[in-house]
Amino acid sequence: MAFASKSPWVIHYDGSSCNGCDIEVLATLCPGFDGERFGVINTGNPKHADIFLVTGSINEQNIEVVRQIYDQMVEPKVVVACGICACTGGIFHDCYNVLGGVDKAIPVDVYAPGCAVRPEALIDAIVQGIAVLDEKSAALEQKKKEGVA
Amino acid sequence: MSKATIIPFGPQHPVLPEPLHLDLVVEDETVVEAIPQIGFVHRGLEKLVETRDYNQFIYVAERICGICAFGHSLGYAETVEALMGVEVPKRAEYLRVIWHEISRIHSHLLWLGLAADAFGFESLFMHCWRLRERVLDIFEKTTGGRVILSVVSVGGVNRDIDSTQMDEILHILDGIEDDYRQIMQVMLTDASVKNRTVGVGHISYEDAVSLCMVGPFARASNVAYDVRMFGHGGYGELSDFRPLCATEGDCYARVKVRCEEVLQSIAIVKEMAAKIPAGDIAVPVKGSPAAGAESANILEQPRGECYYYARGNGTKYLDRMRMRTPTSQNLAGMVSVLEGCDLADVNMIILTIDPCISCTER
Amino acid sequence: MFTSEFMPLALENVASEAAQRKSDGWRFVQLLAVADNTGSGDRDNAVDLVYSYMKDGRLENLVVKNVAVGEDEAKVDTVPSITDQYLSAFVFENEAHDLFGVHIANIAIDFAGHFYQVPVREPMTIISPEQKEAHERAAKMAAAKAAKEKAAAAGKTSGADAENAAKPAPKSDADIEAKLAGLPPEKAAKIRAAMEAKAAKEKAAQKGEAGNE
């Protein structure tokens, strides 16, 4: 395992969430649940981040913002859809301005449902995300080797 | 005179968990104009009232905002009750006040933490959120949820708090109060806090009145307005209530008002818990709102006055449900307070207004 | 205790009312629009506007009825902005424009239709099929109720005897129809089918009994 593996930095973006999942994302990283014990640090800069935590559904106006943040992140990267709205649109799925879950805009690796998503589920999702990150970095490594050879 | 430059702020910005975009027109380091751009969280949930009946919509209403979730379900229920002429049992009114005030404690602690984070006091942020977890424990014990509680129904509440649970709540609150007084001491006296807040983002009493500001933002400019003082619902049972105000009108005053409101809320919960009468917690609600019936209602949310409007059409589905949330009312105040401030103070000022974007855009 | 009242306001008085309220020290609470989807308004595409003001615990909601909206410039009503008096109204005026298509002139901070980005124009004025159905159902319910009351009144005038009154009245068709009108159509259809099946069964049973004798 080359780099990644243990300390993923996360970036959080609130799609069109009701705030419930956002504060749970923050609460996960705070005392009480202490997500930081996995080396997780919340960063505001997409270039620093390994895991993209998206809360809330995708709408007309934020779809470009979500894509832009995702594009700015460097490979390997993992997307976690936090909460049922980010997974499928949830209770708001039939609103006129909701396009659906985050997977309408960018590829999602881990889904963490719940309304609001519970911090335990989020920690689980982030740890799963670390595994995906490892896989992706190994694949990247392999590709590099093949390219050289 | 230097050239004006436009600096975009947000939507993804570390200071706010929520997306808010501002175009800041700056000359050197001074902001001359701030133009807000919202709509990133607009879902259009007011339209959902046509496909969810008035009992189901309560679950949509509390998902307008995950921080003021209880307040929105309460405001919505009160509006529909007014529309249909439903009389809520006394015990339910008391329980609603107790949960609403605990929500306020949770919201203010959350905000104090974010404010500490905004002026770079990370350990204070962690302490506030640690304390907030204990408030959420009360929610989890009494309702089963941490964020979305789903305890209000049209006609009352779904769950009772029995006397053993009530004693437990009071015990937890006593512990929180002790810890909180230490945090408050730091918040209000520490030099590093005062350096960032005193004299920053000043707004006068006259401006606060003419911009129709509400909530702690207005009360920090000495506008003595708090919907709770009208004694609506369970608040009428309080022996004494007066809005907490400050005269300075700057960021420090806004921190101070919210700090003191936490203690006020703890006192209200204690008083209500001591006085709560026995009885039913809900009345059965039958029928549907009459065609063309209208009702309007206001409620004090943690962020200020919230206005609700409902119109019936003779079926179980409402024609229109509208919430005017405190932040949308305060946007004009925010724009005018940002004019003339330093660029480095923008995040602090925005935070002390405590904007709730998902409330505003729905 | 605060009081909440609804009162009418003419469209031409919106601006003067705001100026008057401002000088009298009223606080502007909010502005909202309600799409008039009932079809009862005398215009096709109309909304009601509600301006709320508050002072000393009195919440007054001023309702402007039937404001024509839409894309047709010639047919719409132009509403004056009140942002010259109350700046905080700019949020609601932009919202009313974007979601309801209300034409508001001279908003202090005008987003010119870019306040919200939505996939359809004026989404809140679109009458959803569910809403249309709800209105039809409400009309049916009201009609059925009126018919029932009429029947009850007729029964009374003809002089119902004590014996009849003591017995629970058999469920009349009007009664059942009134209930069915309140249900979604697919559910009502199911109940109707079940009732017909039951009636057929009873008929068959009666026939069978008759045969046995």
Contacts of A61 in chain B (CB under 8 A): 39-40, 42
Report the residue of chain A nearest B356, measured CA to CA.
Answer: A19
- Nearest Cβ partner of A95 from B45, B129, B133? B45
pLDDT tens-digit readout, B59-89: 888 888 888 888 899 999 988 888 888 888 8
Backbone angles phi, psi at B282, to 5 degrees: -160, 155
The answer to whether C37 faces chain B, any CB pair under 8 Å, is yes
The larger pLDDT score, comparing residue C113 to residue B188, is at B188
* CB-based contact B133 A32, cutoff 8 Å: yes
Q: Compute the radius of gyration of chain C from its Cα atoms.
A: 27
- Residues B129, B113 contacting (CB under 8 angstroms): yes
Contacts of B107 in chain A (CB under 8 A): none
Closest approach of C118 to chain A, Cα-based (Å): 6
Report the residue of chain B nearest C37, measured CA to CA.
Answer: B319
Tell me the residues of A at the B interface, defined by beta carbons under 8 Å apart: 11-27, 30-32, 43-44, 46, 56-57, 59, 61-62, 65, 69, 91-92, 94-98, 115-116, 118
Shortest CA distance to A27 belongs to which of B259, B69, B17? B17
Closest approach of C78 to chain B, Cα-based (Å): 23
How many domains does chain B divide into?
1
pLDDT for the residue C207 = 65
Alpha-carbon gap, residue A98 to A95, rounded angstroms: 5
Cite the DSSP H helix spans in B144-247. Answer: 163-189, 191-197, 205-210, 215-219
The answer to whether C109 faces chain B, any CB pair under 8 Å, is yes
Domain-located, residue B25: no
* CB-based contact C29 B324, cutoff 8 Å: yes
Nearest 5°: the CA angle B344, B348, B353 is: 140
Helix (H, G, I), strand (E, B) or coil at C29: strand
User: Which residues span the domain enclosing B163?
Assistant: 43-361
Q: What percent of chain B has pLDDT over 90?
A: 5
Categorise residue B270: left if φ over 0, alpha if ψ from -120 to 50, beta otherwise.
alpha
* CB-based contact A14 B41, cutoff 8 Å: yes
User: Around Cβ B320, how many Cβ atoms within 10 Å?
Assistant: 24
- Nearest Cβ partner of B328 from C87, C91, C142? C91
Contacts of A95 in chain C (CB under 8 A): none
CATH topology of domain C3-125: Beta Polymerase; domain 2 (3.30.460)
Note the ipTM here: 0.81
- Sheet strand arrangement including A78-82: A41-42, A9-14, A51-55, A78-82, A110-112
pLDDT for the residue C212 = 55
pLDDT tens-digit readout, B242-276: 888 888 888 889 889 999 999 999 999 988 888 88
- Residues A29, A35 contacting (CB under 8 angstroms): yes
Shortest CA distance to B116 belongs to which of B169, B192, B63, B218? B192
pLDDT tens-digit readout, B87-138: 888 889 899 999 999 999 999 998 888 888 888 888 888 888 889 998 998 8
pLDDT tens-digit readout, C177-210: 656 665 656 666 777 777 777 777 777 767 665 5
pLDDT tens-digit readout, B292-322: 788 888 888 888 888 999 888 777 888 888 8
Alpha-carbon gap, residue C18 to C13, rounded angstroms: 8
Give chain A's domains with CATH numbers: 9-148 (3.40.50.12280)
pLDDT for the residue C167 = 45
For residue B29, the one-letter residue type is E
pLDDT for the residue C164 = 47
Which domain CATH number covers B326? 1.10.645.10
- Residues B288, B272 contacting (CB under 8 angstroms): no
- Listed by number, the residues of chain B in 277-316 with a beta carbon closer than 8 Å to a beta carbon of chain C are 288, 291-292, 294-298, 305, 307, 309, 311, 313-316
